[in-house]
Chain A
Amino acid sequence: MKKSILIPAIAVMSLAASAQKGVTVHGSVQSDILFPEKDYEIGTETYKDKVLTNTYADVGLYSKYVDAGLRVEYLQHPLPGFEPDFKGWGVPNIYVKGKYKGFELTAGDFYEQFGSGFILRTYEERSLGIDNSIRGGRLKVNAMRGLRVTALGGIQRRFWDWSTSSRVFGGDAEFDLNEYIAPLSRRNIIWTLGASYVLKNEDKDDIMVPGTNFKLNLPQNVSAFDVRTHFYRGGLSLLGEFAWKGQDPSFDNNYTYRHGNALMLSAAYSKTGWSALFQVKRSEDMAFRSQRSMKMTSAFLNNMPAFAYQHTYALAALYPYATQAAPGEWAFQGAFAYTFKRKTALGGKYGTKLKLNVSYIRGLHTTDKELFHNSLYGTSGGHTSFFKMGELNYQDINLQLDKKITKDFHLNFMYMNQRYNKTVVEGHGGMVNSNILVLEPKYKLSKNLTLRGEFQYLFSRQDQKDWAYGLLELSILPYLMVSVSDQWNCGDTGIHYYMATVTGNYRRNRLMLGYGRTRAGYNCSGGVCRYVPASRGFQLAYSYNF
């Protein structure tokens, strides 16, 4: 949906807004711009364009009975590292929603998630270039106490294409038992049961087994279902979820005909002063796309939750883990947080917070892979043991300490031990073992001036070996922030990745100007990663919310 719809869409929305009382308007503008420069030392690509930008503008009208909105995207000269089909511009998102007495009907483009996203999660993540919204219709019914039902159908967005060769339908129901079982509500228990179903109907493809005259008989319909239960009482939360997917031969699984499944169990408890979380997930062949032959990050219908802690410190995020949805994995995650009270021996004058996070992820163990004419195409893909695990994919143990030393001085400390299987995640590189130390002091110089620093060091004998990182950031309230940083590969190449930025905030505007180098690497969010090539140049980022 491109330029031709833009002007009439804006006109209709303006008329609707003016015609209705009680209509609020919200929206935003976001533009990230890079003026790229060639840098042979860090291996930047060569660009024909002098300016690269990802720019978005959206507006929404909200009223008691009707909402409507649209988004304009300008990605004709995109920032580095996005897939080739990402390029384009137009109005890829437009919707109208009617609401009345617990019923909500949406027509147009929408996002939806069933449960934890095992069989359906459509979302927008601009930094990854992901927008897998569904264009069609959705009905949500919340008319009966404790029961929520959703039904939807449509075609999925893949960059600037909405392929009609594949259609998606789904339904979800969640039921709060505590609304109808009196003993539960008396004990302040919330107990929810949920079930979802998704059907993908895709036209057949011509996929031939290499070296033969055999073509695969591909299923046109792929079903997936999900059941879950969630129990809350006081500070205790328990979650169990199971998903199952029918035969879904695709490029992701070498066109094998196995069934996919996922099981997740999670327990969390929190109380004043401490909290704990433990969760385990086993998934197998759960890459579920609307188009079977697609690669990279597009056309996913689902999203397997990430079990690796998402780090914000630069060196801790140097080797981010990408969830292995297609081959499958066993993933364990634990977290413990404790606050030592003020005026105690360990708490000190102001208290001390301690956090321990552990992530441990292994692949599955598959044997007896049968072949058809030396190919996996059309086979069941071998036998995968349920409990037996394959190689280590990722391990992360990190301990964080957060302490206010004086009224004006705050200190964060982190130690992290990480094992990253670069071969599994990136396709090559072996196991990278590293130990990371981070020190983050923050000092309030005056009422309006705060100085923050980050000093990080990564010890490793593999890949690019040791790294050092330093950052100084001066906040000048209420409007300005200035920072300089350098990430130095002291163990191998000796290259410095320097960056200087100035950020201004004024009312609803935010403007960042910067210059420097960005290292090639992976940008990950929620277990999904995008490769970002090295770049250097002047950067500008602007956002406005209204």
Chain B
Amino acid sequence: MNIKISDIRLLSAAALSTVAMLTACNDIQESNRYRELPAAEVKRTVLLEEFTGQLCVNCPIAHEIINELKAQYGDRLITVGIHSGGDAFSIAEGDPIWTGYQGLRIPEGETYLSNAGFKSGMGLPIGQVNRTSGLIDRDEWSKFIYNEISRDSEIEITLDAALVGDNPQAPENIGINVGLRSVADNDVKLQVWITESGIKTIQLLPDGTAKDDYEHSHVLRATVNGINGEAISLVGNETAVVSYTCPVKAVWNPEKLSVVAFAYNGNGVLQAAETHVSDGGDQESESETNN
């Protein structure tokens, strides 16, 4: 059998047209790419622990996503940036190699990352929502927060924090009061953290350059009541009040500090609250109630 060049051209054109038709049929037009879900019914405050690092080039992308999520959910979403991942991703507090820059990684950060299930071969940024999602990438945070925020919570947290000290210019401590109330008897762990926002120091960007005055927000600065918190037995409809004092470190900016408190058990985070640390003095301390 002899085949002519014209036969080949005809066959090729037919085949290409067929495939083009088949593949084009799958296209989703721009007007049809989004399905709007009903706004989440906010029933609790959700905690997003974001494991991040100053040497993690993709972490600023995650920070932008967090900004979008905070704009969407406001105070009902608490995000904490836990600098971790070792020297490959982050800079330790006081690291002498990084003279002139502030390292934001504290030792507890590595423990929290390990406890969350981080394994060799994984990368940052990565996060967990209410300690129920497991470690998930940034493209899944929205989905898990949407689902978690509409779940009922039995726990209510009241939180206030203020700077304490003789010298208002150099406060020595933060005084913290946490109130926990549950609709039923409940054994929980209460974890209290100090976070700081507005920290301007180095961060690697997605284009590989370094920004020396990148503004870091919601950075975990200290654990107040131990790495795993304090066990508390709640009696139904009774408020348990716990007070703490946390020394202010010289490297912190007292005006930019916040306190995060959350109650958790084996089923994850049951409720969370956050309050800005007030400057104490004649002003009434700020108090947050989350339910």
Contact = CB atoms under 8 A, between A and B. Distances in A.
Interface of A: 43, 45, 80-84, 86, 177, 180-182, 193, 195, 197, 206-217, 219, 221-225, 227, 244, 246-247, 251, 255, 257, 293, 295-296, 372-375, 378-380, 422-424, 427-430, 531, 533
Interface in B97-145: 119-123, 137-143
B58 interface: yes
Given A181-B2, A423-B57, A427-B208, A211 B72 contact: yes
B84 to A, nearest CB: 15
A213 B37 contact: yes
A217 B23 contact: no
B183 interface: no
Contacts of A227: 12, 15-16
Nearest to A82: B121
Nearest to B122: A84
Among all A-B residue pairs, the 8 with the closest Cβ atoms? A211-B68, A423-B208, A208-B142, A84-B119, A223-B23, A214-B34, A210-B65, A427-B57
Nearest to A218: B28
Interface string B205-231: 001110000000000000000000000
B204 interface: yes
Nearest to A375: B68
A217 B30 CA distance: 10
A374 B143 contact: no
B143 A206 contact: yes
Contact of B33 (A81, A86, A216, A222): A216
A217 B35 contact: yes
A23 B69 CA distance: 64
A43 B97 CA distance: 15
Interface string B10-24: 001001100100111
Interface in B13-49: 15-16, 19, 22-24, 26-28, 30, 32-40
A80 B72 CA distance: 41
A181 B3 contact: yes
Contacts of A207: 139-140, 143
A81 B121 contact: yes
6 contacts: A43-B87, A211-B72, A246-B23, A295-B123, A378-B34, A423-B57
Given A84-B122, A208-B143, A216 B34 contact: yes
Interface string B244-283: 0000000000000000000000000000000000000000
B31 to A, nearest CB: 10
Contact of A215 (B24, B34, B72): B34
Nearest to A293: B139
Contact of A223 (B26, B40, B137, B143): B26
Nearest to B22: A223
Contacts of B64: 374
